[in-house]
Chain A
Amino acid sequence: MAILSIENVDKRFLKGKESLNVLTNINFTIEEQEIVSIIGPSGCGKSTLLRILAGLDQDYTGKINFDGKPISEPGKGKGVIFQEHRLFPWLTVEDNICANLNKRDEDVQQRLKEVIELVKLTGFEKSYPKELSGGMSQRVSIARALMRNPDILLLDEPFGALDAFTRKHMQDSLLDIFNNRKMTIILITHDVEEAVYLANRIIIMDSRPGTIKEIVSIPLQYPRNVVSDEFLSHRNKALTILDYT
């Protein structure tokens, strides 16, 4: 069953007197427990699209249905992970993860323990964000989103600022989390390899104005071998559509 359907979504920015088309005629649906990656060159409006899905931007035309209802506000089953970790610097790791939840609640305590184990941050519960590395901070922000048991996880280039080793490690963590929690994931990225490594389907976008060029399925088993022939052929196909040479 489709958890998310997007119909004829258009988005314009007003720049002085000019109106700029950011997204034009966006249509797709996302099934439950699917990992979908959205890739495209910078300026194609992929981050804007994610902000719309997150409920942070409601100035668009078209129809979006999430769980049978239009998106009216942020939160409400939609977890968001941004490119930067966006932790509250004045809170410890566990207080960040439990932000806006009652930490004394036994159920919250139990879930906190689980997510901390899941993102492998045991022992860092009382640390402040300034004491963490980039990868660890991003794992805290993932834990913070998971803590609320979201139906859908929206990730906006979450590993873009990390080094290659940490990124690879985080991608595997994300797959672990997916296997553990079985939720729907939408991942914005500009890294084709990342998209092919993680996603069931890839939505390839074009810029100015932002449109969907093609939607490609990646019917490969997890874990995927990045040097296998079929992986490389899917990667090359995506690259060709993106018009990289």
Chain B
Amino acid sequence: MNKKYIVGSILPLLLIAIWQLVSYFEVLPVQMLPSPIDIVEAFVNLVKSGTLQENLYTSLIRAAVGFFIGSASGILLGLIVGNSRFMEFLVDPSVQLFRMIPHLAILPLLILWFGFGEPSKIIIVASGAFFPVYINTFLGIRSVDYKLIEVSKVLEFSRSKQITKVVLPAAMPNILLGIRMSMGTAWLSLIVAELMGATTGVGYMISNAREFSQTDVVFVGIIIFACVGKITDSFVHILEKRLLRWRDSYQGVNAK
């Protein structure tokens, strides 16, 4: 266990060391690339003044609400479309059409409709979270081993039990993968929304800092995004491990 964390932190630590050296020898001007120590200082100041907590809180709420709405509707629609050929023909082409619209393209429209308030941001995050979950749920359902469906018929499962007790658990690896991916896109969508038009949030903090050339604050924002993203991803990964304990698949060499 410990070894795993040590191996995982080699690359980030190496990067920080090189970075500090580069700044120390002033290869680039401070306005372009502040040193890690400067960034830590900026971080401490932001925490002291409470700015960071406030913005992070707003961003987290937006991300959580948007992610929940997006992924829940992704699972639901994925389940419906995955279980019915008719629904696939009816719904899937339109979903794929909407999927191809870049977020940046609809954001101005959302701002026109909903203003700079919360709904436009939550819709952006939700739409970002929706597609990976939808696609992977759909894919997961369609790749359920037909042999297990046959078994469920032999064992006289009702149609609804077949879906909840066979299709859903069999598709779970894909659904969880979709959730992991959608958390990434939810963050991405959030920062897009906050950079384009917001008065609070970590994205706003970054774009505001850019206007005042506070490069160190920009870095704090970026690092916050990376860390919070990683923490939430680890959380889902732990969930994945618990839920998919039953799986018997290749874990990579030297896995124990």
Q: Are B148 and A88 in contact (CB under 8 A)?
A: yes
Give the Cβ gap from A84 to chain B, nearest Cβ, in Å. 7
Mostly, the B contact residues are helix
Alpha-carbon gap, A238 to B185, bound state (A):
65
Q: Who on chain A is nearest to B145 by CB?
A: A86
Q: Are B153 and A90 in contact (CB under 8 A)?
A: no
Q: A90-B169, A99-B165, A100-B161 are in contact. Are A75 and B155 (CB under 8 A)?
A: yes
What residues of chain B lie closer than 8 Å to A76, measured between beta carbons? Answer: 156
A208 at the interface (CB under 8 A from B): no
Q: Which residues 137-158 in B have Cβ within 8 Å of A in the complex?
A: 147-148, 150-157
Alpha-carbon gap, A16 to B246, bound state (A):
41
What residues of chain A lie closer than 8 Å to B148, measured between beta carbons? Answer: 86, 88
| Number of chain A residues close to chain B: CB under 8 A | 24
Q: Are A74 and B246 in contact (CB under 8 A)?
A: no
Q: Are B247 and A80 in contact (CB under 8 A)?
A: no
| Number of chain B residues close to chain A: CB under 8 A | 20
A203 at the interface (CB under 8 A from B): no
Alpha-carbon gap, A88 to B248, bound state (A):
12
What residues of chain A lie closer than 8 Å to B245, measured between beta carbons? Answer: 128
- Looking at B156, B157, B169, B248, which has the most chain A CB atoms within 10 Å of its CB? B156
What residues of chain A lie closer than 8 Å to B247, measured between beta carbons? Answer: 89, 130
Q: Name B's A-contacting residues (CB within 8 A).
A: 147-148, 150-157, 161, 165-166, 169-170, 172, 245-248
Q: Are B151 and A75 in contact (CB under 8 A)?
A: no
Interface string of A68-100 (1 = CB under 8 A from B): 000001111011101010101111000000011
**21 pairs, CB–CB < 8 Å, chain A vs chain B:** A55-B153, A56-B154, A73-B153, A74-B156, A75-B153, A82-B150, A84-B147, A86-B150, A86-B151, A88-B166, A88-B169, A89-B248, A90-B169, A91-B246, A99-B165, A100-B152, A100-B156, A100-B161, A100-B165, A128-B246, A129-B248
The residue from B151, B155, B157, B246 contacting A90, defined by CB atoms under 8 A apart: B246
